[in-house]
Amino acid sequence: MSSTARGTVRNDNDYYVTPHWLIAEFLEQFIPDHNINTDIRVYDPAAGGCNKFEASYPTVLKAFGFGQNDNLLTSDIRADSKAEFIEVDFLDIKDRADEDLIITNPPFNYSVEFTEKALNNVVDNGYVVMLQRLNWLGTQKRKTFWDNAPLKHIYIHHKRPSFNPDKPNKTDSIEYAHFVFQKSYLGPTTLSII
92: Cβ–Cβ under 8 A, 6 or more apart, which residues?
none
pLDDT value of position 31: 98
pLDDT at 10: 42
Domain spans in the chain, listed from the N-terminal domain onward: 12-193
3-state secondary structure of 143: helix
pLDDT mean by block of 10 residues, the chain; 194 residues: 39 70 96 96 93 90 92 93 93 93 94 96 97 90 93 93 68 85 96 95
Amino acid at 21: W
User: What pLDDT was estimated at residue 7?
Assistant: 35
Which pLDDT score, from 0 to 100, does residue 171 have? Answer: 64
Q: What is the pLDDT of residue 108?
A: 85
CA distances from 191 to 34, 154, 163, 177 (A): 13, 5, 24, 10
Q: So what's the pLDDT on residue 119? A: 97
Provide the edge-to-edge strand list for the sheet that holds 99-104: 85-86, 72-76, 42-44, 99-104, 122-133, 176-182, 151-156, 190-193
Residues 6+ apart with CB under 8 A from 18: 48, 56, 57, 105, 131, 161, 163
CATH 1.10.760.10 fits 12-193, yes or no: no
Q: What is the pLDDT of residue 162?
A: 66
pLDDT at 68: 85
The confidence score (pLDDT) of residue 173 equals: 73
The β-bridge relationship of strands 42-44 and 176-182 is: unpaired
Question: Within its chain, how far is the Cα of 52 from the centroid?
Answer: 21
Residue-level pLDDT at 86: 93
**Which pLDDT belongs to residue 4?**
41
